[in-house]
Structure 1
Amino acid sequence: MSQDHHTLRSDAITAIIVPDGAELISLRNPQGLELLWQAGAIWPRHAPNLFPIVGRLKNDTLRHQGKVFPMTQHGFARDRRFDWTARGPKSCTLVLTDDTQTRARYPFAFRLTVTYTVDDADLDVAFEVTNTGDEMLPASVGGHPAFNWPLLPDLDKEAYRITFSNEEHQPIRRLKDGLLRALPEPNPVRGKTLALSEQLFEDDAIILDQPASSSVRYAADHGPSIEVSWQGFRELGIWSKPGANLLCIEPWHGFASPSDFDGEFSDKPGLMQIAPAATRTLKYRIRVG
């Protein structure tokens, strides 16, 4: 753990945040049970914040006004050190702004603020993306919290399910080589329920690009539960890495480039378009039950 970390506490949860990536690295219930994946060797992250892209660009290349810029999967924010702007017992705020390093990969002026707040059994995560430049700011942002799967070590993975707040009938999207496949695929959600198994993720993430729901609950028949709800995000990714005991529930605004898209970045599907001096706010909440 980074020596520079901040702990938020309520009677129901304890959360630890570090400035590297403004990342949540621990979430425990009142019994001290760790609910968050602890960055094992098979996937060395906890809950990275995705910006200024979600997913991958074709050839890991961003095109803007005749120039090309290297941009790797999920963007650079998760690998940058944020600055603390507020640190209290129930809330903390971190900020990342553009500099010469970011402009070498993403030629836009921005300010990304991430605020964590605990309230009883809820951890709220708020993103503010501000356009500090004088041209439109094309951007995506996403959460990527990875929870232990299973949450209780004596349960099988197949004991768990995800329950959506609404029935999900729209097809899903899948990836090939990190890019969005051209055609949608059948939705494995049955009504409101997604029965979890490792086989679901042999073909990478499940992407709901038209979710009817704004919250999901991850649980077995007994033991702790996790509810994730969101505002301002339009898509939802669900992912697990084969061989890892983790389950990611990811509210997104944006997704990987379609496999046939290699155009101007500002034309990429799924982006926010933020006017100069404007701010977009997106939030998600983790509720521990």
Structure 2
Amino acid sequence: MTTTISNSTLTASINHSGAELFSIKDNQNKEYIWEGNPDFWGKHSPVLFPIVGTLKNNTYKINNKEYNLPRHGFARDMEFQLIEKTENKAVFSLQSSEETLKKYPFNFELQLIYTLNENSLELEYKVINKGKEKMPFSIGAHPAIALPDNFENYAFEFEKEENLKYYLLENDLISSKTKILEAENKIVPLNYELFKNDALIFKTLESKSLTILENSKPYVKVDFKDFPSLGLWTKENAPFICIEPWLGYSDTDENSGNLYEKEGIFTLEENRTFNAKFSITIL
């Protein structure tokens, strides 16, 4: 099943499987979200929960009991319920279940709230701890922006002048190796060579927004003030770029396996709610 919301400027469509955004079109019917061609990458904009990235050996421990979780968790592969709908807003919910408790022993509700405001789509994540203990989790976004022109005709423009230090992945884990993404006047031209070693992982950034330029003109802007970390990713010759606001990231090789001790993890007290938003603005 799918749900569509709209206003005078934009139309957004969301699949109930994973509550995954798969389309943002303007009023000229131009598409801004990657089509999901599986020859490159068969997704569009999955939610990453209750982990972001990869666990060491795909396992973790809670109270000395071992659990398995796949890369980026399980929420993106589960059916969400539509619990609220207006013309320009849709709210989706995923509740913990017998199935999720086998992989992640916490009672939770995850809501994804999509709202169109003028030329922006805002996506809010709401995580509710319904259990009686502290709940460790990470959450992240993975929207793939379609790039209809030649890849080299695009560039990133960061919000601030800063030292753009990113971490390299080794066997899907965060290594201690870092590089600097070279920017001139906050602008980084795109080329596939940047992503030859997989995603660029920024544990922290001063910039809280990133604009994609198309032939030097603003194309799409992603604002992520509620998220401390960011991933940037594409595949060789793929006509898209992923701008991924994250709370958390892959394990390091030194990780103890205890989820409460995981670098970048967030811990939510019992009966509390976590909220974070990001937005995609069509320029």
Q: When the two structures are superposed, what TM-score results if normalisation uses the length of structure 1?
A: 0.94
Which amino acid counterpart does residue 147 of structure 1 have in structure 2? I
- State the 1:222 CA deviation: 6.2
**Cα distance between partner residues in 2 of 1:223 and 1:100:** 49
User: Structure 1, residues 222-272: CA drift from partner, whole Å, max 9, x if none?
Assistant: 677110001321101110012321100000000000122142111001011
Q: Does the aligned pair in 1 maintain the 2:164–2:182 contact within 8 Å?
A: no
Which amino acid counterpart does residue 10 of structure 1 have in structure 2? N
Q: How many residues align?
A: 282
Which amino acid counterpart does residue 285 of structure 1 have in structure 2? S
Q: Which runs of 4+ in 1 moved over 4 A?
A: none
**Cα distance between partner residues in 1 of 2:218 and 2:99:** 42
Name 2:168's counterpart in structure 1: 174
Name 1:185's counterpart in structure 2: 179
Matched, 1:141 2:146: no
Q: Does the aligned pair in 1 maintain the 2:114–2:123 contact within 8 Å?
A: yes
**Cα distance between partner residues in 1 of 2:164 and 2:44:** 30
Which amino acid counterpart does residue 59 of structure 1 have in structure 2? N
Q: Does the aligned pair in 1 maintain the 2:155–2:216 contact within 8 Å?
A: no
Q: Does the aligned pair in 1 maintain the 2:88–2:116 contact within 8 Å?
A: yes
Which amino acid counterpart does residue 65 of structure 2 have in structure 1? K
1:146-157 matches, cutoff 5 A: 146-149=144-147, 152=148, 155-157=149-151
Q: Does the aligned pair in 2 maintain the 1:54–1:140 contact within 8 Å?
A: yes
1:39 aligns with one of 31, 36, 39: 36
Runs of 5+ unmatched residues, structure 2: none
Q: Does the aligned pair in 2 maintain the 1:175–1:204 contact within 8 Å?
A: yes
Which amino acid counterpart does residue 18 of structure 1 have in structure 2? N
Deviates further, 56-65 or 177-186: 177-186
Deviates further, 164-173 or 279-288: 164-173
Q: Does the aligned pair in 2 maintain the 1:201–1:241 contact within 8 Å?
A: yes
1:181-220 matches, cutoff 5 A: 181-220=175-214
Matched, 1:99 2:97: yes
Which amino acid counterpart does residue 251 of structure 2 have in structure 1? S
1:138-287 matches, cutoff 5 A: 138-149=136-147, 152=148, 155-221=149-215, 225-287=219-281
Deviates further, 47-56 or 167-176: 167-176
Runs of 5+ unmatched residues, structure 1: none
Name 1:112's counterpart in structure 2: 110
Q: Does the aligned pair in 1 maintain the 2:88–2:115 contact within 8 Å?
A: yes
- State the 1:188 CA deviation: 3.2
**Cα distance between partner residues in 1 of 2:184 and 2:104:** 40
- State the 1:170 CA deviation: 4.3
**Cα distance between partner residues in 2 of 1:116 and 1:125:** 5
- State the 1:221 CA deviation: 2.6
User: Structure 1, residues 127-174: CA drift from partner, whole Å, max 9, x if none?
Assistant: 01111111111000001000112xx3xx32111001011113042111
**Cα distance between partner residues in 2 of 1:222 and 1:232:** 27
1:103 match: secondary structure = helix
Q: Does the aligned pair in 2 maintain the 1:85–1:93 contact within 8 Å?
A: yes
**Cα distance between partner residues in 2 of 1:216 and 1:262:** 33
Name 2:130's counterpart in structure 1: 132
Q: Does the aligned pair in 2 maintain the 1:168–1:191 contact within 8 Å?
A: no
**Cα distance between partner residues in 2 of 1:232 and 1:120:** 21
Name 2:56's counterpart in structure 1: 58
- State the 1:62 CA deviation: 1.8
- Select the structure that is richer in strand: 2
Q: When the two structures are superposed, what TM-score results if normalisation uses the length of structure 2?
A: 0.96
- State the 1:276 CA deviation: 0.3
Identity %: 32
Which amino acid counterpart does residue 2 of structure 2 have in structure 1? H
User: Structure 1, residues 46-98: CA drift from partner, whole Å, max 9, x if none?
Assistant: 00001000000001112111111110000000000011110111000001111
1:71 aligns with one of 65, 69, 72: 69
Which amino acid counterpart does residue 246 of structure 2 have in structure 1? W
